[in-house]
């Protein structure tokens, strides 16, 4: 996670296209200027950034389900609960689920857990629209590659891609089948 660049997701752990769910790992950095102000002597991940982490996982799921043909923007947050303090060094696992794929919007649920314990949850509405800039699509495709988003595999294989997914310990995952394709697309 690079807080100052709003790069929240470190890795996709599971993707189930049929079930329309995705799990991500999000490691809170040990150090960041944000913790100098929030708070001195008691560093905490700001609650708004927990919302952002949930929004990004939901957004990446929605983009993946739409084959990255549209951008998703956060429109509303409902039923948000920030249940406990989140501190540097902790890994938040977000489970995002698409509840409804509407026309021009998606409604999603997100739950965040640390070591299995629920720390945050919310329902989010994301508006979808054509990419307003081509470089934005390229950036998101390169982000998908960075976070090891399964891309080209058929739904059945993609669903199994999460089994035995490595933790954030430097273990080498299998290369997503679509990396080469992503490399091309990111320069569109």
β partners of residue 25: 11, 93
Q: What is the DSSP letter of 104?
A: S
- Shortest distance (Å) from residue 99 CB to another protein: 9
Residues 65-104 that bind another protein (CB under 8 A): 75-76, 100-104
When binding is defined by CB under 8 A, the residue of 34, 38, 105, 113 that contacts another protein is 105
CB atoms within 10 A of CB 75: 14
CB atoms within 10 A of CB 145: 19
Interface mask toward another protein for 28-67; x: CB under 8 A: ----------------------------------------
Interface mask toward another protein for 123-162; x: CB under 8 A: --x-x-----------------------------------
Is 107 one of the binding residues for another protein (CB under 8 A)?
Answer: yes
User: Quick check: is 38 catalytic?
Assistant: yes
CB atoms within 10 A of CB 149: 26
**C-alpha gyration radius of the chain:** 16
Q: Which two tokens stand for residue 134?
A: 């081509």
Is 170 one of the binding residues for another protein (CB under 8 A)?
Answer: no
Burial of residue 144, with CB atoms counted within 10 A of its CB: 0-12 exposed, 13-18 middle, 19 or more buried: buried
- Shortest distance (Å) from residue 132 CB to another protein: 16
3-state class of 90 per DSSP? coil
Catalytic residues: 38
Q: Which residues bind another protein (CB under 8 A)?
A: 75-76, 100-105, 107, 125, 127
């Amino acid at each position: 996670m690079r807080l100052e660049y709003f790069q929240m997701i470190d890795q996709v752990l599971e993707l189930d296209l049929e079930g329309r769910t995705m799990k991500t790992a999000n490691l809170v950095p040990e150090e960041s200027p944000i913790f100098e102000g929030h708070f001195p002597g008691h560093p905490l991940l700001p609650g708004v950034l927990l919302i952002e982490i949930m929004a990004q996982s939901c957004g990446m799921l929605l983009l993946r389900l739409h084959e990255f043909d549209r951008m998703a923007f956060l429109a509303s947050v409902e039923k948000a609960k920030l249940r406990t303090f989140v501190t540097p060094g902790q890994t938040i696992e977000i489970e995002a689920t698409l509840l409804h794929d509407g026309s021009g919007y998606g409604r999603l649920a997100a739950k965040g857990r640390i070591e299995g314990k629920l720390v945050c949850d919310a329902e989010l509405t994301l508006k979808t629209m054509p990419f307003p800039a081509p470089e934005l699509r390229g950036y998101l495709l390169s982000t998908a590659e960075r976070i090891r988003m399964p891309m080209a595999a058929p739904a059945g294989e993609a669903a199994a891609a999460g089994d035995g997914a490595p933790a954030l310990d430097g273990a080498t995952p299998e290369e997503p089948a679509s990396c080469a394709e992503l490399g091309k697309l990111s320069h569109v």
